Structure 1
Amino acid sequence: MGLTIGIDLGVLVGLVSIFFYVFVKNAITAQYKVYLLFHFFMMIWPIGQVGVHTTDRPHLQIFYITLSFVGLSMLGFGWMLFMKFLSLGAYYKPSRNVVLLLLAPSLLLSVAMIWNPANLFVAPVGGDFGERQYGPLFWCMILLLVASFLYSLRLVRDKARMQTHQAERARLKHAFVGIVVMAGFPMLDLLVNVLLDPWLQVIPGITSLGILASDVCFLYALRKHRSLDLVKIAQQDVVDTLSVGIIVLDEHDIVIEVNRNVCPKLPVTIGRPFELEALLDAHLVEANAKPGFLKAFRMPSGERAHTELVLGAKGEPKQYLAMHAAPILVGGSLLGKVITLQDITELKLHILKSQEQNISLQERNRALIYMQDELFQANRKLEQMAVTDSLTGCFNRRFLMQQLEHEVLTNLRYRIPFAVFLFDIDLFKLVNDTYGHVVGDEVIRRTAEAVRGALRRTDILARYGGEEFAVYLPHTNLEQAERLAQRIREVVESNTIPTGRGRSPISVTISMGIHVVEEQTDLQVNDVKQYLKELFYNIDSALYRAKDDGRNRIVNY
């Protein structure tokens, strides 16, 4: 019994740790939301199993048994929905009818197991559920999980047959492993501990270990082979206002987004590789321009490239497009590319028909220059969006760490004092639970706005993750840092946030850890990344001391 509890408790701790790791370390996109829902259903099983083996009261035993198998039943729904996202891509958006269709069998079966009419789900042996018999509802649940397994396997198989991209195949391979592990362990548990129970000794924790192992496989597939989430960078309301067609590619040249002005004659599909060479072979105006364009396009440092395409079958009117390719660079790293397609048919026809129409040609050139400037401004906006947090408008964590890698070395070399703050909103989960996530987002946004107003122009405020923020203060000694930290705490505490019609506004507090490096330091840093890791570990420790000491306070490391 002790081994059984230990295994299930260990699995539960592992699943909870993975849940918080995903929640803290990742931008919660639609794909991650589905994964977290799936993960939540996984955690129900070990919770129920720990409960079953820690009580001898029948009414509590039946509660925990029912909880375990309801979680297993709902796992079938979460499993199929997550497999759809994992196999069909991060930008798959299921309709409401599809979600209800996937949910209905698990939901109905869960209600039936909770009701347990005439012990059709489970019955005690000798008045105690320590030994129990399973009824038809239990086997219906097993059939549901088998159906979910076969459906998910079919999704992965069909997608693998269509997929030619190596990274996508690797992602599907890890998803397949997760499916087999997820289905195999419970089937083994069913065989050993239910069907062969009269003849074999009970082996504890098989299903729990299978759930944990499959979760690791799914998380690896999700993180290792995910596409860069550039849809948020290429905001649709920005790109759709431009008069040119825009195609956004990730670093592997997978199409992430297209706007409404992309010519429908071009073979461009979201989630598929951008077949540049085939496009150039079929539509280049000047065939000898292909090598130069490809060379500039594939430069790892990122180069702007330009060429012209012509569309239209023989005997049809020709359409000419000017194609520009520009890199998306952040801190010297190439994150993707933006391709713009401008219709220059009229301009091209004027050039081909007559060199005498100089005035018209100059007007078209001015229009082209205007569009290029418009594109340049759009690229600048995209680059800015790549380093900022969409909710608060603050810098994001990646930009902060890139800045600190440079700033810290300079500060230490020339003995310039600096400070780093790390704070988060106290009892934020209570705000979300009480008022909902919309109000929670408003609390985060208004808190960031209040803090930004209390900082100097040279200070950097960044959203570190969730409700946690970091502040970098250059040329700041201990006295200045403590004074500014106190001002930030007071500004946040006095800030009020509306919670909706008919409800009183609320205010929140923050707990803060600070660390100041004075100018008299003679510290030598060989690995700035490791130094920053230790620095933030120390500040995070100070932050947790502030939490433990009662919140709404500042602790200096």
Structure 2
Amino acid sequence: MLKIRTDAEKWRYIIAVSAMATVLSVLLTWVLLGDNLTVDMLRAAILGPLLIAPPACLMSARRSLEIYRLNQRLEHLLAHDQMTNLLTRSHFMRQMHEMESDFRGSFLMLDIDLFKKVNDTYGHLVGDEVIRQVAGVIQDHVRRDGLAARYGGEEFVVCLPQQDMEEAVKRAEEIRQAVERKTVKVSGANLGCTISIGLGYADGRKTVEEVLKRADEALYAAKKQGRNRVSLPRQEAA
């Protein structure tokens, strides 16, 4: 099946097929006519494929490229949350399970503090904008070396491969402080918000679900301790 992924591949395909068709046409003409081959016949053998092959190849190449780009777009839509453009929970978990056996790294569970109050006070449109703003901050801080997903509602998850707990705490604090500085315009006023973050560490011995459960427990502890803070799982905090 023809698979063209870039404009460069499209033009390489057109040139290659056109050249091959021209060569085959000349060879076939020479085999069939032998000593009777004339300059006009040779010219026709060359011009025929050059007039027919490029337009035909261009049409098929364009179609193949369009299909590829549509498939890429569809894959992106299926893998990303439409509100935040972060990964969906299902796609995030699928990626984690694919590398689970030898994965080492840290996980962050993040939740917007008192989000229900934002929705109840300012409405869901403002709440949605708060979610987008927080998601943007998270993405800015992890796109270089990590993965971020919208885990559900106002909750997010971050994976930081090859980063130990000390490094993860620093990253979590950077995200927390950046969110705290962020504001959303509401009726001419600036609405701020905060997040709580719980951490977990994957050492290759626990499943992703077990690590995320510990990170979620740490997140719950951060909420219980007053919100707007980073909390470690119990054994690391001890």
TM-score with structure 1 setting the length: 0.32
Name whichever structure is richer in helix by fraction. Answer: 2
Which of 93, 98, 118 is matched with 1:431 structurally?
118
Task: Kindly indicate whether the alpha-carbon contact (under 8 Å) linking 1:454 and 1:491 is maintained by their aligned counterparts in 2.
Answer: no
Q: Which runs of 4+ in 1 moved over 4 A?
A: none
For 1:389, the equivalent position in structure 2 comes to: 81
Structure 1 residue 372, shift from structure 2 partner: 1.5
Task: Kindly indicate whether the alpha-carbon contact (under 8 Å) linking 2:198 and 2:232 is maintained by their aligned counterparts in 1.
Answer: yes
For 1:454, the equivalent position in structure 2 comes to: 141
Structure 1 residue 459, shift from structure 2 partner: 0.5
For 1:516, the equivalent position in structure 2 comes to: 201
Structure 1 residue 554, shift from structure 2 partner: 1.1
For 1:157, the equivalent position in structure 2 comes to: none
Which of 219, 227, 232 is matched with 1:556 structurally?
232
C-alpha distance in 2 between matches for 1:480 and 1:372: 45
1:498 match: secondary structure? strand
For 1:403, the equivalent position in structure 2 comes to: 95
Q: Which amino acid aligns with 2:58?
A: R
C-alpha distance in 2 between matches for 1:402 and 1:437: 30
1:461 match: secondary structure? strand
Mark the CA change 1:423 to 1:376 in structure 2 (over 3 Å): closer, same or farther.
same
Structure 1 residue 390, shift from structure 2 partner: 0.7
Which of 537, 540, 556 is matched with 2:216 structurally?
540
Structure 1 residue 360, shift from structure 2 partner: 5.0
Which of 416, 440, 445 is matched with 2:132 structurally?
445
After superposition, the CA RMSD in angstroms is: 2.1
CA-to-aligned-CA distance 1:317-370 (integer Å, 9 cap, x gap): xxxxxxxxxxxxxxxxxxxxxxxxxxxxxxxxxxxxxxx976256414312211
Task: Kindly indicate whether the alpha-carbon contact (under 8 Å) linking 1:481 and 1:516 is maintained by their aligned counterparts in 2.
Answer: no
Which of 174, 182, 190 is matched with 1:505 structurally?
190
Mark the CA change 1:524 to 1:546 in structure 2 (over 3 Å): closer, same or farther.
closer
CA-to-aligned-CA distance 1:117-160 (integer Å, 9 cap, x gap): xxxxxxxxxxxxxxxxxxxxxxxxxxxxxxxxxxxxxxxxxxxx
2:58 is the counterpart of 1:373: no
C-alpha distance in 2 between matches for 1:547 and 1:511: 6
Task: Kindly indicate whether the alpha-carbon contact (under 8 Å) linking 1:426 and 1:509 is maintained by their aligned counterparts in 2.
Answer: yes
Gaps of 5+ in 1: 1-303, 306-355, 526-530
Which of 474, 496, 501 is matched with 2:161 structurally?
474
Structure 1 residue 510, shift from structure 2 partner: 0.3
Identical aligned pairs, as a percentage? Answer: 35
CA-to-aligned-CA distance 1:207-237 (integer Å, 9 cap, x gap): xxxxxxxxxxxxxxxxxxxxxxxxxxxxxxx
1:410 match: secondary structure? coil
C-alpha distance in 2 between matches for 1:394 and 1:457: 14
C-alpha distance in 2 between matches for 1:524 and 1:446: 35
For 2:14, the equivalent position in structure 1 comes to: none
Mark the CA change 1:384 to 1:545 in structure 2 (over 3 Å): closer, same or farther.
same
Task: Kindly indicate whether the alpha-carbon contact (under 8 Å) linking 1:461 and 1:472 is maintained by their aligned counterparts in 2.
Answer: yes
C-alpha distance in 2 between matches for 1:383 and 1:423: 26
For 1:489, the equivalent position in structure 2 comes to: 176
Please show how residues 110-509 of structure 1 align to structure 2 within 5 Å: 359=51, 362-411=54-103, 416=104, 418-455=105-142, 457-499=144-186, 502-509=187-194
C-alpha distance in 2 between matches for 1:371 and 1:524: 48
C-alpha distance in 2 between matches for 1:425 and 1:394: 16
Structure 1 residue 437, shift from structure 2 partner: 1.2
C-alpha distance in 2 between matches for 1:387 and 1:456: 16
C-alpha distance in 1 between matches for 2:100 and 2:163: 13
C-alpha distance in 2 between matches for 1:467 and 1:507: 15
Mark the CA change 1:532 to 1:503 in structure 2 (over 3 Å): closer, same or farther.
same
C-alpha distance in 2 between matches for 1:536 and 1:481: 14
C-alpha distance in 2 between matches for 1:406 and 1:450: 27
C-alpha distance in 2 between matches for 1:456 and 1:533: 23
C-alpha distance in 2 between matches for 1:434 and 1:534: 36
C-alpha distance in 1 between matches for 2:168 and 2:229: 14
C-alpha distance in 2 between matches for 1:428 and 1:440: 7
C-alpha distance in 2 between matches for 1:446 and 1:452: 10
For 2:11, the equivalent position in structure 1 comes to: none
For 2:18, the equivalent position in structure 1 comes to: none
2:102 match: secondary structure? helix
Q: Which amino acid aligns with 2:218?
A: A
Structure 1 residue 492, shift from structure 2 partner: 0.5
C-alpha distance in 2 between matches for 1:524 and 1:369: 48
Mark the CA change 1:390 to 1:547 in structure 2 (over 3 Å): closer, same or farther.
same
C-alpha distance in 2 between matches for 1:484 and 1:524: 24
C-alpha distance in 2 between matches for 1:407 and 1:492: 30
C-alpha distance in 1 between matches for 2:143 and 2:61: 38
Q: Which amino acid aligns with 2:167?
A: Q
Task: Kindly indicate whether the alpha-carbon contact (under 8 Å) linking 2:87 and 2:150 is maintained by their aligned counterparts in 1.
Answer: yes
CA-to-aligned-CA distance 1:378-408 (integer Å, 9 cap, x gap): 1111112111111111111112111211333
C-alpha distance in 1 between matches for 2:146 and 2:69: 26
Q: Say how many residue pairs are matched.
A: 188
Task: Kindly indicate whether the alpha-carbon contact (under 8 Å) linking 2:201 and 2:211 is maintained by their aligned counterparts in 1.
Answer: no
C-alpha distance in 2 between matches for 1:365 and 1:407: 40
